[in-house]
Amino acid sequence: MNQEERNKDLEQVIEKYSNALYKICFMILKNEQDTNDVLQETFITYMTKKPDFKSEEHKKAWLIKVSQNKCKEFLRFHKKHAGVPLEEVEERFEITNGMNVEDREKLRLIWNLNYKLKSVVILYYIEGYSVKETAEILRISEGAVKKRLQRARESLAHLGKAFEGGIVCEQL
């Protein structure tokens, strides 16, 4: 692949997957600047490593995996920007526009979960990955995923008591 083809490929990959990665990383990092940095590092890794993918699903999972590694590394060693409260983000990015009260509350609860719980909730419940796939993406054991999902359910149920019905989670 020459430079021109490589750039074309990069442009297509960014067009196709940057939105999905942005949603996940923005929820994790709670900050636009950091999200941008992590996405940049992720696509640079894509450009420089560029493994062979079996399918588009494989490519997407690989990109999520790299971005989650970057998020983790970033949060642990490099983070400079504080997470922004959801209220501030709501105003600026209108991320809860058109949502009913219940969904807005759910988003707020997920927003405020800590990284370890939030990452499994997003991948398992929102992105629909299985426990095994979630474990592979986050490079943790399946047992750890189940344990974190359990803690997340407890946490969401506890925090969600404030509105009618709480948050009901399907048991594994």
C-alpha span between 43 and 62 (Å, rounded) = 11
Report if residue 94 touches another protein, rule: CB under 8 A.
yes
Burial of 80 (0-12, 13-18, 19+ CB in 10 A): exposed
C-alpha span between 21 and 128 (Å, rounded) = 14
Provide the 10 A C-beta neighbour count for residue 37.
19
Report if residue 26 touches another protein, rule: CB under 8 A.
yes
- Tell me the torsion sign for CA atoms 159, 161, 165, 170: positive
Show contacts with another protein in window 44-73 (CB under 8 A): 44-45, 47-49, 72
In the list 14, 142, 146, 157, the residue contacting another protein (rule: CB under 8 A) is 14
Report if residue 74 touches another protein, rule: CB under 8 A.
yes
Report if residue 146 touches another protein, rule: CB under 8 A.
no
Q: How far is the CB of 160 from another protein (least distance, A)?
A: 11
Residues in Cβ contact with 137 at an 8 Å cutoff, skipping those fewer than 6 apart: 61, 64, 65, 68, 123, 129
In the list 52, 57, 164, 170, the residue contacting another protein (rule: CB under 8 A) is 170
C-alpha span between 38 and 82 (Å, rounded) = 15
C-alpha span between 67 and 56 (Å, rounded) = 16
In the list 80, 92, 162, 164, the residue contacting another protein (rule: CB under 8 A) is 80
In the list 1, 57, 92, 162, the residue contacting another protein (rule: CB under 8 A) is 1
Positions touching another protein (CB under 8 A) are 1-3, 6-7, 10-11, 14-15, 18-19, 22-23, 26-27, 33, 36-37, 39-41, 43-45, 47-49, 72, 74-83, 93-99, 103, 106-107, 110, 114-116, 121, 124-128, 136, 139, 167-170
